[in-house]
Amino acid sequence: GAVVSQHPSWVICKSGTSVKIECRSLDFQATTMFWYRQFPKQSLMLMATSNEGSKATYEQGVEKDKFLINHASLTLSTLTVTSAHPEDSSFYICSARDQGQGNYGYTFGSGTRLTVV
Amino acid sequence: AQSVTQLGSHVSVSEGALVLLRCNYSSSVPPYLFWYVQYPNQGLQLLLKYTTGATLVKGINGFEAEFKKSETSFHLTKPSAHMSDAAEYFCAVKGSSNTGKLIFGQGTTLQVKP
């Protein structure tokens, strides 16, 4: 089945530094990927939709200059948290849409736990 | 616009008992509906999905859900709970926008008591 690899699974960084999270579709091409943020005991909050070869579409209230998304190929999207601060600490999850499954295939990565100290 | 409401943020059952997790949706178009499970510090795993056709959908790990248009519901059930079913469960509906983003419910924590 479709597999999405998300890396790293956890990262600790100092306040003010930037962190890059990678999301790869391993056995399918993903023209669309989604980035979510999840706070403890809460649901997933969609941050942005990433389309291969074009600019990401950000949800209302998400700072696009802080959360940089790049979708340079059909199998890779990256999320960079720039100038990270403790309030950016969260669980970030990516999802890739498998066009081979039409409208029905959404595969999730295993998530990245970001802790900013 | 689409939305999802999961009734009950926390459900507790005994091992071997019936599991029922409730999900109601709102959609202006025929919905595509999903149930996902999430274990601590992990991503989401698809349990089952409804797109078209048969309204009773069977998924992995013995779970099933029934699409009821008249009730705008898509409740998740399992006849007999196992300890390993303890996790967070999310119901989702595919949005009608071209992006195809999923809209999630608030989640339900399932506790299974021995």
CA distance B105 to chain A (A): 7
Using a CB-CB cut-off of 8 Å, the residues of chain A touching B33 are none
pLDDT-based confidence at residue B47 (cuts at 50, 70, 90): very high
Find which of A41-45, B1-5, B103-107 is predicted with most confidence, using mean pLDDT. B103-107
Measured distance CA(A101)–CA(A15) in Å, rounded:
41
**Could you tell me the two tokens for B50?**
């409804």
Nearest Cα residue to A8 out of A111, A83, A102? A111
Contact state of A106 with B104 under an 8 Å Cβ cutoff: no
A49-76: per-residue pLDDT in tens?
Answer: 998 888 899 999 999 999 999 998 989 9
Nearest Cα residue to B33 out of B110, B103, B108, B106? B103
Mutate to test the interface with A, among B32, B35, B98, B101 (most CBs of A within 10 A): B101
Task: Report chain B's terminal Cα–Cα distance, integer Å.
Answer: 41
Measured distance CA(A112)–CA(B26) in Å, rounded:
31
pLDDT-based confidence at residue B2 (cuts at 50, 70, 90): confident
Which pLDDT value is given to residue A103?
57
User: Which H or E run contains B72?
Assistant: none
Which pLDDT value is given to residue A102?
61
